[in-house]
Chains A and B, each alone.
Chain A
Amino acid sequence: MKLRDYILRRLLLLIPVLIGITFITFFLTHNIPGYDPATPWLKDRTSPEARQLIIQQHHLDDPIVIQYFYYVSDLSHLDLGLSASEANRPVADVLATFFPATFELTVTSLLICIVIGIPIGIISAIKKDKWPDHIVRIFSLTGISVPVFWFALIMQYVLHKEFNIFPLGGRLDIGTVAPTFNIPFIPFHSTGLYVLDSILGGNLETLRQALLHLVMPSFCLAFISLAVVARMTRSSMLEAMTQDYIRTARSKGLSERVVIFKHALRNALIPTTTVVGLMFGGLLSGAVLTETIFYWPGIGRYATGAIASMDYSSIMGTTLLISIIYIFSNLLVDIIYAYLDPRIKYG
């Protein structure tokens, strides 16, 4: 089976899972006791008749299965309802506004994970059982034990209050306008990714601010995943180093450096890539907490607020979005894995 067919098959298998997700999300958020489903459309003094009208308009008294179908058909138009916690803006709009912030944060964290985590793992494998290895081991076990929200608060205290190196939160200093750019032939003027926008627009000041503001939240988020990546790299390197082909490589007279970094690493990266890809889901979860503490205007913080104020269309929309991202990133990881490892037969 070719790679293309493999991808197609996986995508098809996704469909039942996607349907299942929409169903679960819908069902969960429609069964909230004591909650008046007409709430998003109620104004301060809505008469009972007006309320009745609203209910009929939005099919709120139909059997739940019927409501589900309306919901799915709305979805196909990308209509996710209105967000009560955001002055009744369409949920889809709100998500589109907040998503880039989370994306920027998550991608930065992922980069930190890779750039720091993998080398640490390699060193740990090479110096197995010596003190660098022990230190990395303690570090990684601590990493997965640390509560993200606590770590964030401590970071804020130490790095902002005590040493004032980094700003407390937000994406830019208060009062700074979001960067935009103006490139011919491109119809839009910003991606929502401030670092990218600053570079494209040649705006050095916002670039500096955006980067500074990114540091704490992304390190905080990355810390836990870093530990896992380091650990994973270490064990897959160790696994690779005991293989026969390493002995062959040495018998050919290759230098130890080539043996480790070309022969062993290339093999060790395969399972590591899988783990890194799966980190993405973990990062999304962690983003919820981190964004709240660092006042980061992303979908994580939006979700928390929505849940707190029982804005159920927002909750549904966000959960759906996050789950879909998660599934697709998993799929991407599987595809990358199949591409990297020539032994995978897609049949």
Chain B
Amino acid sequence: MRRKTGSLVPLEVAILDALIELRRHGQPEAHGFLIASELRSIGDDRRLTAYGTLYKALDRLGESGAIDRRWEDPEIAASEGRPRRRYHRITLAGEAARAAADPIARRTPAADRGVATS
């Protein structure tokens, strides 16, 4: 069955929640593993989200404009001796989509946001 255009599946809602939660704790953008860890800490599942499932969902959110994605400067990654990270940040469109997905969303975007993100 095809999903309705613009609709969010539960994992995508959870990812947006995780990004909002991380931002509330001073992390305006997060790499994939950090999101997976946050999903585990705020969700019911004790397991980390699968690689394929997580990155496919992040791609979908990026393509729909719900999140912004950027690659880290390779020099920073090289200087720290690790692979480069791709950072994800929720956008205003993502906050709106999250709020529309659940009328009793845990918080409104403006309430816990110091600065606007887009």
* B is a partner of A: no
Residues of B at the A interface (CB closer than 8 Å) are: none
Residues of A at the B interface (CB closer than 8 Å) are: none
